[in-house]
Each structure stands twice: as C-alpha cells, then as structure tokens.
Amino acid sequence: MIYADHAATTAVSPAAIAAMIPYLDTVYGNPSSPHLFGQRAKAALDDARSRIAHCLHADAKEIYFTSGGSEADNQALRTAAMIGAANGKRHIVSAAFEHHAVLHTLDALAREGFTVTLLPVPEDGILPAADVAAALREDTALVSVMYANNEIGTVQPAAEIGAVCRKRGVLFHTDAVQAAGHLPLDVQADCIDLLAISAHKFHGPKGIGVLYARRGITPKPLIFGGGQERGRRAGTENVPAIMGMAAALEEATAHLPENTVRLTALRDRIIAGLRAIPQSCLNGDAVRRLPANIHFSFAGIEGESLLMLLDSRGICASAGSACASGSTEPSHVLTAIGRSRALANGSLRLSIGEECTEADADCIVQNVQEIVSYLREAAHWNEN
C-alpha cells in the first residue's frame, strides 16, 4: 500500500507513541488532583505546554489544549468576534477557500449579526495581503486566513497579512492545521493573534489540538465545566494525547529542514509526471505550496472512479474534503479558484509522507497515468 493521504491524517510516530504510553498506564493521574500522583501528570502537562509553545515561538501561557483543529478554530473565531463586538466591531474578513471549521463558524456568526466578507481567491490559490488590507473597515474585528490550504496546499502570505492586521489593530487568526509540522511557524514574527493546530496532521494522535491565543486575548469558553486550561476549556486534560502531540511536534520541527528538501523533491517529481498527462492541470501555485501536497484536475474523468481504482491498486488518495458519509463532496476550494465544475469533479489530491520513496512517487505517477487514460477510453454499457 502507498499512503498518499497525509493531509487527511498521519500515522502516530514511534516517538509520539513512546511519549504517550507512560501516561496511559503508569502516570495516569488527573492533573487536577491534589495528590502527588496527580501532580506528576500536571507537571508533564505543563512541560508539554512549554515544549509546544517553544515550537510555535509562543509562551506556554498562550497555549490552550483543545480536542483538535476544528474546536480551536471555533474557539478562536468566537473569541475574536466577542472581543470585537465588545468594542462595537462586528465585521470579519476571511476567504472563500477556508476549511469548513472556519466557514461554518463564520456562517453561525453571520446569523448572530456579524458581517462576513469572504474574499475571492485568485487562480494561483494565494490570497494577496493587499486584498486583505483593502477589505478592512473601521469596524473590522478579525481577519481569518488559513496558513496553508488543506486541499490545494497553497501557502498564504501569513506574515504579510499579520503585519497588515497588526498595523490596523485588527485581530489575525490563522488555521494552521495543515502547516504545523510541515512549515516553520512563528507566531511572533508573523503577528498571529490566534492560531489552530491539530496533532494528527503531524504524526501525533487524533482528538487533540492547540489553540494559541496571544497574551492579552482571553479565549471565550465553548465548553463549560471544570476550571481546566485556566478556565477556558473545561474537561479533564487528555494527558497521553497531549504528551504525544508535544513529542510529535518537536520531532517534526527538528526534522523540518531535511524533510522539506526531500518531500519537495518528491512532490515536484510527481507533479512533473502528472503534468505529462494530457488535459491535466496542477491546482494551486507550483512553488508556494506545502512540500507534500500535489493537487491535480484531469478533464473528462470522474474523480470518484479515479480514487476507487487507485484504491484497488493499493494507493490511498483523496479528492479533497470528504463528508461524514465518506462520499466526495464538490470542492468549494476549486470553485473558489475558478475551476469549472467538470474539472473540479475530476480532481485528485496526493499528500505524501516522510516514508515516501522515489519508487513510490514513480509508482503513483504511473498508476494515475494509466487510470486516467483508462477512464477516458472506458466504454460504457449504456452507450450504444
């Protein structure tokens, strides 16, 4: 099997598993317990918080653990909206190609009386900071632009957008779920006020993520109960998962330079191979994209058939985002960058991982080439 769907989720790394195990069966105390056994878990939790903060160039007090990226995005947007509303600012700027965790939260905020400007995205899949600057109003409370797109992998000019926002006194949130562990993140250099990451995208466990909220921004709780996370997120901390996440993020951060070089070379090898397919197009900028993301559209085929045939040959890929049923949904990202319906329907996302070899890359290319040409020629029984 070749797993080329790392943007969906990744394997938990051995280092992350090793970091988790003691907190499942040995140091299993509740960090809120007053006894020393519980306090050992609390100490581990604090340590993990500091290490994660370090990877993001943040302070430990700015790190809040959540159940994952979606919760962190929800909480970030609601926090910024509440702060804005308290100052009479009820306008939010975001982009049409955001993840649904952002778009659907913005829908909810719009129903609650906020005005949302969703900026169109150019064909290269990169939102210019100038477009963000031009959309700001006196009453703009928040800008939310993802660090890197989850479907087409394009990397956004976060530092420029952050600088624009900081200058204009507008909060900047970025969904960095696809970026963490894959791109260097520096919340200070990029002037990021709120940021969301999710452990399972960088070889950590599922069900755990981080909301970074810059000092001075108090997250608005979504979940009420105990006083965990300094009263901002109730519920007993998932200590094993947090330990796994910290280990995974440190590992990814440590190996980032060499992984980037290796994955970028493999990515470009696959892109070159798929570009040789007639009537194909790469979606998103060829250079300013995640090191492991390859996203193509092929005219005249159905993406669902391509995915299934790849699956039958042991290659796991994706067409973009999937709904809960597991069916392929029409991509709002491809629509946002102006791809026609027909091209959007024939799309393929490959997201490779560190274990990918040149032979794997060539195998992927060969199989996609074969299947695309088969699908274009396939005779259908209903056609006479």
Partner 1 sequence: MRIEETAMKKALIAMSGGVDSSVAAYLTQEAGYACIGCTMKLYDNEDAGIAREKTCCSLDDIEDARAVANRLGMPYYVFNFTEEFREQIIGKFARSYLCGMTPNPCIDCNRCMKFEKLLDRAAVLGCDKIVTGHYAQVVETAQGYQLRKGADAGKDQSYVLYMLTQQQLAHILFPLGGMPKAEVRKIAEEHGFVNAHKRDSQDICFVPDGDYARVIEAQTGITPPEGDFVDTKGNVIGRHAGIIHYTVGQRRGLGLELGHAAYVCGIDAGQNRVVIGDSKDLFSDTVHVQDVNWIAGTPPQEALRCAAKIRYRHPEQPAELTFIGEREAVLHFDVPQRAVTAGQAAVFYDGDIVLGGGTIVTK
Question: From the CB of 69, what's the least distance to partner 1, in Å?
Answer: 22
Interface mask toward partner 1 for 101-140; x: CB under 8 A: ----------------------------------------
Residue 9 or 373 having the CB closest to partner 1: 373
- What residues from 195 to 214 belong to the interface with partner 1 (CB under 8 A)? none
81 membership: H or E segment, kind and range: helix 69-86
Provide φ and ψ at 267, rounded to 5°.
-55, -50
Site map 362..381 versus partner 1, x via CB under 8 A: --------xx--xx--xxxx
- Cβ 311 to partner 1 shortest distance, Å: 8
Minimal distance, residue 331 CB to partner 1, in Å = 11
Measured from the CB atom, the residue of 310 and 356 that comes closer to partner 1 is 310
Residues 279 to 338 in contact with partner 1, rule: CB under 8 A? 304-305, 308-309, 311-313, 323-330
Closer residue to partner 1 in complex, CB, 323/359: 323
| Cα atoms in the Cβ-side hemisphere of radius 13 Å centred on 130 | 1
Tell me the DSSP string of 232-291. Answer: TS-S---HHHHHHHHHHHHHHHHTHHHHHHHHHHHHHHHHHHHHTSTTEEE-S-SSSB-T
CB nearer to partner 1: give 142 or 336. 336
Length of the chain: 384
Q: What is the nearest approach in angstroms of partner 1 to the Cβ of residue 320?
A: 12
Whichever of 157 and 320 has its CB closer to partner 1, that residue is 320
**How many angstroms separate the CA atoms of 50 and 68, rounded?**
18
- Select 228 or 347, whichever has its Cβ closest to partner 1: 347
What is the spatial distance between Cα 104 and Cα 106, in angstroms, rounded to a whole number?
Answer: 5
Pairing of strands 140-144, 171-175: parallel
1 makes contact with partner 1 (CB under 8 A):
no
Segment (H or E) for 175 = strand 171-175
Closer by beta carbon to partner 1, 17 or else 307: 307
Best CA proximity match to 133, nearest among 147, 122, 146, 119: 119
Q: How far is the CB of 326 from partner 1 (least distance, A)?
A: 5
Q: How many residues bind partner 1 (CB under 8 A)?
A: 26
Which candidate, 247, 244, 248, 236, places its Cα nearest to that of 29?
236
State in angstroms the smallest separation of the CB of 341 from partner 1.
8
The amino acid at 274: L
Residue 384 interacts with partner 1 (CB under 8 A): yes or no: yes
Q: Which residues contact 66 (CB under 8 A, 6 or more apart)?
A: 72, 75, 196, 208, 209, 210, 211, 233
Active-site residue (options: 281, 323, 356, 363): 323
> Which DSSP string corresponds to 117-172?
EEE---TTS---HHHHHHH--TTEEEEE--SB-TTT-BBP-HHHHHHHHHHHT-EE
> Please, what is the minimum distance in Å from the beta carbon of residue 200 to partner 1?
22
Cα separation, 20 vs 83, whole angstroms: 36
Among this protein's residues, is 363 annotated catalytic? Answer: no
Token pair of 264, please? 């970028």
Which spans of this chain sit near partner 1 (rule: CB under 8 A)? Answer: 304-305, 308-309, 311-313, 323-330, 341, 370-371, 374-375, 378-382, 384
Catalytic residue numbers, as ranges: 323
